Amino acid sequence: MGYTFVLGGARSGKSSFAEQLALRISEIHSMNVTYVATAQASDDEMEERIQRHRLGRPPHWYTAEIPLDVSSWLQTERTPQVILLDCLSLLLNNWMFLEGCDEEQVLTRIDALVAAMAESEHRVIVVSNEVGQGIVPGDGVSRRYRDWLGVMNQKMAQCAEKVIWVVAGIPVDLRKLQVSLP
């Protein structure tokens, strides 16, 4: 079963759209929703963000806090459900800064995650930030993060059944706009 990849900038409305989509799919197919959270409460402001997100979700949704190994978690989940993974940009952050992954390790984890998504029998919605449209970051760590997230987003989009770009709260189906080479 294919997955849906939802992409957008900061405060674009991508998470809200993904949550509405998960709710709608769960209603249509009478399935439970599991919200896979990758965020870590690294400071008071982040703790407040996490709490706001929790309170904004329907109370009957299950939350799984999976900050590092989402691919293994996906492979062990057996009960059919809607899975909302929010978000890849924080997952990459965790790989880089909690685990100190180098490029080879990051690329291996990206490939494992894409494979787990492609093989999943669940209805999966994946959220990520698009960070490559701004200026080139001034330091090496930020450039690596931007580059690796760009690679992750490309690989996720290539294998996704649907790719939705959210701008100013408006979702756009990129597969319908996709241009093929002659």
pLDDT value, residue 1: 65
pLDDT in tens, 53-85: 877 888 899 999 999 999 999 999 888 899 999
Q: Which residue has the tokens 């100190």?
A: 100
Percentage of the chain surpassing pLDDT 90? 75
Check the annotation: does 49 bind a ligand: no
Across 32-41, average pLDDT: 90
Set 29, 53, 60, 122: catalytic member = 53
Residue 165 pairs in a beta bridge with: 7, 172
Check the annotation: does 168 bind a ligand: no
pLDDT in tens, 85-104: 999 999 999 999 999 999 99
Check the annotation: does 120 bind a ligand: no
Look up 60 and say whether it is catalytic. Answer: no
All residues at 6 or more sequence positions from 116 whose CB lies less than 8 Å from its CB, including other chains: 70, 71, 72, 74, 75
Q: Which domains, and CATH codes, for the chain?
A: 4-9+16-176 (3.40.50.300)
Check the annotation: does 37 bind a ligand: yes
* Polymer length in residues for the chain: 182
Count of CB atoms situated within 10 Å of the CB of 34: 22
